[in-house]
Every structure is written in C-alpha cells, then in structure tokens.
Amino acid sequence: MNAVYSLCLANIRKKKLHNGLIALLILLSTLLLATSVTVILNTTNLFTDMHNKTHGPHEMLSLGDELHDPQKVHQWWNEQAEVTITELIPFRTLAGIKNQEQKHSAKLSSLTLYMMDTPTRPYAVDELIFAQGNEGLVPEKGTIWIPSAIAYLYEISVGDTLGFTTGEEKFELKVSAIIVDIPYGGPFPSGARIWMNHQDYTEQLQAMQGKDQYMIGLRFDDYSQSSSYWEQFEQDMGTPYLESKMNFGEMTAFYLIMNKIIGFIMVFLGVVMMLVALFTIGFTISDDILSNYKTIGVIKALGLSSRRMIGIYISQYALLAMISIIPGLIVSHWISKVIVESTLSSLKTGTSQTSLEGDLIAVVVGIFVFILVIMCVLFYSNKARIVKPMQAIRYGMSESDNSTMTKRFMGKENHGISFERTPLLLVIGIRNILKNRKASLLMILLAIIMSAVLVLGFVLLYSISSIKQTSPLWGYDSSDIALNVVNKSVFSRAEVDQELLSDPRIKNIGWMGYINGILSSEKSLNSDRSSAQPINLNLFVMEGSYDETGYTTLRGMNPRNKNEIAIGIKVAEHLDKEVGDVVEAYIEGYKHKLVITGIYQSIANQSISARVTVDVVRVNHLDYNNFELAFINLQDHRDSDRLINEMNVKYKDSASAVSMDTLLDATFKQAVASLILPMTIMGLLFTGVTMIIIYSISRINIRKESKTYGIYKSIGLTSTKIRWSVTLGIVFLSTIGSAVGIFIGVYFLPMILGSILSDYGIAKLPLILHWGGIIGLACVTVISAGIGSWASSRVVARTSPQILVVD
C-alpha cells in the first residue's frame, strides 16, 4: 500500500501543471452543472414561494366593456366553495409616467398604467409584499405604491415624485412604498398597477370619460379544476366569459424565461466541460502508460500487481476530484445566488435575503461527477493490465506494437504520401499532428466547443440588443413611431389623421385597437363536450394594413377582409387549426365564423392572441372607433426624433408619441442585462481553459518528441522555426475546429434553445447573424490555441541540442 501511495504522490508532483488543469476542468464541470440545477430549481421555487406567500391569484379577470355585469360575475365566483376571490377593485387606465428626476422618461412614457382604487389591506387573495417604504393599510393621500418591476428597472425610489396625465389634467403623486405585485410585476414590464389612495382616485380620475373597470383575482384550491368552473360559468351565465383574463401560465412566463435560457446554456456547457475533462483524463492516462511502458514493466517485474497499478491512477484522480468538486460546489452556490437575484430582482424585498434551496441536489451533482471520473479512470487505467514485464523491458512497448512500428519503418519508402516538395515548417507541424492523433482530436474538440460557445453568446446578445431589425418575428410591429392615445375625451381622430396624412414625411399610418375575444373550433361553443376548450385571448383590431405596419406571419398572410383572421401559433396548437380552417369567434358579444389566413408567433403574449381587421368588428358595431395606438411609418426614419417632439407638443393633452426603438429597448433591456454576466463568465472560462489545455497537451507532445527536436536543432534548424512549425500545426487544427464551431453555434445550439422558447410562443428563434463579429470571435479561439501552443514550446528554445538528444 505504501508503494501505491508513494507512486500516486510522485505522479501528482511530476505533472503539477497538467494535474492542476484536470482539477480545474473537474471544478468547472461541477460549477456549471451545480449552478444550472440550482438556478432552474430556485427560479421555480422562489416564484412559487412568493406566490403562495401573497396568496397569489391563479387567474386575473378584467371587466368593464359592458359585456358582463361585474357585480354578477363577482357574486358568482364568490359563491364557489373552493375558490377564494379578491374584492371587486375599480381601476382606470392611463398611459405613461413622467419622472421628475428625468430618468428614463421616454421609456416610462410607454407604460400602460392600471390606476387602482386601493381597498383596505390585508387581502385574502393577491396580497402585496412591501419591498421598500412604510407598510400601510392603504396609501396615504398624495402618495402611491408602485411595483418593484418598474421601480428597480427604471431606478425609481421611495420619495420620488411621479407625474401622470388624464389628458387635460395633470397631477403628481409621491412614491411612499415599492411593493412586489405578482400578477403585474414580472420582468420585461409593459404595464403596471399603480395603487392609489381612494380620495386621490376619486379626485383625479372620476372626471375622465368612461366608467370604472374592475379587476377580480381568483385563487383555486385545485387549479387543475379551473376548466370545469368555467364550463359551469358558461352554463349559468348563458355565454362564455367574453372579457380579459390572465391565467397562471401568463403570470409565470416571464419570471422563468431568462433563467430557463441561462440554465439550458449552463447545462449544455457543463456537460461539454465534463466530457472534455473525461477525455483529457483518458488521454493523460493512456499517454502516461505508453510513455512509461518500460517503467511500468520494471515495477510489475518487482512484484506490484496490476490491481495496485490501477489503484495508483484511481488514488491520484480521486484525490484531484475531491479537491476540485468541493470548491466547485461552494462557488456554484454564490454564482447561483447572483444569477437568481439579477433575473428575479422584481421579487426581491429589502428586508429578506435570497435563500437558495437545493443544496442536497448540488451535492448529488458533485457525487455524480466524482463517480464519472472514477469510472473513466478505471476504463483507461485498465490498459496497465496488458503490460508484460519482459516485453516492456526489452521493447519499451508491447511486442505487437514493436512489430507494427518496424514494418512501418521498413515500408516507409513505398508510402503513398510524400512531403518532398512541402515547406519544411509545414512538414514538421503536420507530422506533429499526425503522430499525436489523440492529442490532436482533443485540441480540435476544444476549438469546436470554445468557438460554439463564444458564437452562441455573441449571436444571442447581438440579436436581442438589435431586436428592431427582427421585431416582426418576435410578434411586434416594425413601424418608426407609436402614437399612444392618452385621453380619448379630447382626442380628435379626424383632426390627427388630417394633419399626419398631409405631412410629406409620413409614409402611412395604421390604427390599432385591443379587445377581448373567444375562439373555438366550429363545434365547441354549440356542444356539451368538445375536444378543445374555447380559448380566451387578446384580439388585435387594425384599421389599415398589418403588412405596412410591419406585422408578419410564419405561415399564410395577415387578414385583409371582414371574414378573415390570423392566429398565434399557441392558439393554432390548442385548437388544432391550420391556414384555411374555420374558427368560431365571440367578438364584442357577437358570434362570427372566420377563415384563418395566417399563423404567427409572438413572445409578448405567448402567441395566445389573434389579428382581425376593423371590418369584422364593424359588422355589428358600425361606429367602432376605439383605437388606442397609431403606428406611423416615415419616408426617412431619420426624421423620427423631430416628428416625435412635434407631436408631443401638439397633442400633449391627448396623446403621447414615442419611437419603436425606445419601446423595444424598454422591453428587452432587462433581457440583455441578465444575459451579459453569465455569458461573459462562461466565455472567459472557456477561453482560459482552452489555452491551458492546449498548453499542457503541447508540452506533453514536445517532451515526447524532445529527441527529434534536438536532432533538428543540431543540424541547423533554429528554435524559433521549430516553435513556429508546432504552433502553425495547432493553429491549423483550431481553424478547422473553429469553422465547425461556427456552424454549431449559429445553427445547432439555437435550434435546441428554440425548443425552450416554444413554450413562450416562439417557434422559430429570430437571430441576426453579424458575420464580422461571429468570425472575429471564432478567431479568438485560433489566437488562444496559438498562444497556448507557442508558450508551451519555450522548452525547445531553453534546452541545448545535446541535452535534448540525450533525453
């Protein structure tokens, strides 16, 4: 046993750098795998815990379009024994906030605001958790509570004064508290609930045109039974629920999406890093057995058994694994906390610290990594069993290998491949690659992985930060300016149309409205049972052309006539419909049969939406003119800033203009911020690991070929030329690997990542391929490999030819 222990320590001391590299690979594998598992687990757990803590609703109903009596709907749900509901909460809708600090003013102006008449706390359902400020039963007069989602994103603090407008009137309120608002407080906020004092609500908003709208939150004892309640609702009310409804899936979607993407990338990279570590361990053990074949033969001749010989390698790598896995698990806990806090910042409160769960699962991951390492060592070290002492001492290899080598040397003159006219440096580089095939395979694999990782990170970040170029494929328009109607009572559509259409800078205008609708298969609404339940969704109503506005479809085309409709891809899956099929729709309380002309994808509402022309609504409502937004395209987009300023001055009491760049930036700013940190860390890790591995492998190869390089130097070849030849060979290998890595990073990995986004209504991931950046990052792989190889070959320059030849 002492011999095994001594030889194990000798192996560790002899190759300190290489053993340190393998330990680093095992550490990084453990780090990435444990972090990914912890992030995915805690993302769901933290949201679920906060949802339970607030007695969060499973569904949020918004009523006010006079399609249902809010009091009757509230009474019906209040009578259901296994459903807990909120009060009937009045609200009015406003557009945009003005921050007196002038921070993020353009982005804040694009928000849809639900100004709530706050009932007295506590609430049985949809309770509010205070993150900052003084907790109270209701906001004090002159103050408001705002959700953490917009407060953290737009740097709004307790004590800030925010301005609002109802059109003709403007008023200001002071932020007294920041609260966690589960249904409307997720990442990428486009709307927010602003909780007002009842007196402020009455004084500031009751003079607005129109009536109060109402929200009702529903919490089911068993959410899986919700569909049966809605079937009963339809039977008792005589009609499906025709107004707006937000379900639990819509509430949770954007809380989880970023961590799912980050978790997927980390799982993939962790698995890849683990495979690289195992391959490197296998390569090292195989190389060590071949390089020390004679020594192993002598040791076995002295009486050390094959089992104990294998035990040397197991002890060595078990020790390396243990000292690597434990720090990896500790660091993963810290990194997981950073990622979870950054992506779920809207759930963070000032009084509570993020407490991560899943330590036991992380430990299981560490044990799994340890077992993989031991199994790999067992597999490769088993080659030590076949070492025959007599053959090893005589030939330095097995007799069969010696015979094969002899035949190869004897037949060299008849070899089909000739390097007679090839430049000498290239010949040496190619020879180094061909003679060390396993090492070359590992290097090319590293180049592929590193290039794929860097390219994927760049493509994702560039595509999201430049989303204006692909906004139609995300379900948005691509117009230059959005004009949002703030106060319909003083807004004159005819006057605005006349002024804008007479402006030579404006190319076209499309007016958009939003209403709630019910879609079903043709038989669903007229039968007791149906294979697919009717689906409640948002209907986009367009006066103008969807195509000119920039909306696009995956299949088919946008609707143009009053009997046509385009539906989101999730709606198509739910109803099992395709282009050309017919659906039944309840719109504004009236039933229509519409032909599906197109199917599109949209991340904004998970593709649970549909598009119709205004002609569909005007079949029953001839005077429909309830448009909330105008999409404006310009002859020259460079005029947008000037035109936006002019419109905001001209229509300051009735509408607000903002560029589409600003709207998209406000929506996706958080996504870019969440991805930058993990993608940067992983890119740097892989770059560093690749350089170290190539340095280590090249150093092993050079030591094996030391006698050959000594001969080259003794006949006049300089150290610099030898180093260049070795480096050029590895650069050539890494260039091939980088080319393959580009293909994987641009096409294969996004395809896998797209399967995650399919749950969010994105069937085809919209990417922008900036080939200059892609090729530039792929070149980083080649440069890293070249630096690692060049650094490893310093031993050739430092050593004299005589010593190399003797070695």
Q: What are phi and psi of 474, to 5 degrees?
A: -95, 0
Interatomic CA distance for residues 127 and 180, integer angstroms: 9
The amino acid present at 9, given as its one-letter code, is L
Give the Å distances, CA to CA, from 753 to 262, 591, 738: 10, 39, 21
> What is the predicted pLDDT for the residue at 568?
92
Contact 458, 285 (CB under 8 A): no
Instruction: Give the bridge partners for 733, in sequence order.
Output: none
Interatomic CA distance for residues 269 and 744, integer angstroms: 13
Question: Nearest Cα to 324, choosing from 335, 312, 316?
Answer: 316
> What is the predicted pLDDT for the residue at 137?
92
Interatomic CA distance for residues 451 and 738, integer angstroms: 5
Residue reference for tokens 């006049």: 716
CA–CA–CA angle 305, 310, 313 (5° rounding): 140
Interatomic CA distance for residues 304 and 54, integer angstroms: 67
3-state secondary structure of 55: coil
- In sequence order, the 6+-apart residues with CB closer than 8 A to the CB of 206 are none
Interatomic CA distance for residues 697 and 471, integer angstroms: 46
DSSP-assigned states of every residue in 584-653: EEEETTEEEEEEEEEEE--TTTTT-EEEEEHHHHTTT-TT-----EEEEEESSGGGHHHHHHHHHHHTTT
> What is the predicted pLDDT for the residue at 416?
42
The rounded average pLDDT for each run of 10 residues, N- to C-terminus, in the chain (807 residues) is: 63 70 82 81 77 89 81 91 91 78 64 88 89 89 90 85 79 91 80 91 79 90 87 84 81 75 76 80 76 64 69 83 88 80 70 63 88 87 64 49 48 46 66 74 84 86 82 87 77 84 89 85 50 78 91 93 92 90 86 93 85 90 83 88 86 79 70 70 76 78 73 75 83 89 88 77 85 89 86 72 53
Question: Nearest Cα to 566, choosing from 590, 549, 583, 589?
Answer: 583
The single-letter DSSP state of residue 120 is P
DSSP-assigned states of every residue in 387-429: --HHHHHHHSS-HHHHHHHHHHHHTGGG-S---TTS-HHHHHH
Contact 543, 631 (CB under 8 A): no
- In sequence order, the 6+-apart residues with CB closer than 8 A to the CB of 612 are 539, 540, 541, 542, 559, 564, 565, 587, 594
> What is the predicted pLDDT for the residue at 226?
87
Question: Nearest Cα to 670, choosing from 332, 254, 389?
Answer: 254
> What is the predicted pLDDT for the residue at 529?
42
Q: Strands 564-568 and 655-659, how do they pair?
A: unpaired
**Sign of the CA dihedral with 295 first, then 299, 302, and 306 last:** negative
Q: What are phi and psi of 330, to 5 degrees?
A: -65, -45
The amino acid present at 309, given as its one-letter code, is M
> What is the predicted pLDDT for the residue at 608?
87
Contact 89, 231 (CB under 8 A): no
* HSE, side-chain direction, 13 A CA sphere, residue 408: 7
> What is the predicted pLDDT for the residue at 415?
45
Q: Strands 143-147 and 191-196, how do they pair?
A: antiparallel
Interatomic CA distance for residues 441 and 736, integer angstroms: 11
The domain limits of the chain are: 1-59+245-416, 65-242, 425-472+668-807, 473-667
Residues in the chain, overall count:
807
Collect contacts of 283-289 with beta carbons under 8 A, ≥24 apart.
Answer: 283/438, 283/439, 283/442, 283/697, 284/15, 284/18, 284/22, 285/313, 285/377, 285/380, 285/381, 285/383, 286/380, 286/383, 286/438, 287/438, 287/439, 287/700, 287/704, 288/11, 289/381, 289/383, 289/384, 289/387
> What is the predicted pLDDT for the residue at 7?
62
> What is the predicted pLDDT for the residue at 524?
43
> What is the predicted pLDDT for the residue at 526?
45
CA 608 to chain centre: 21
> What is the predicted pLDDT for the residue at 670?
64
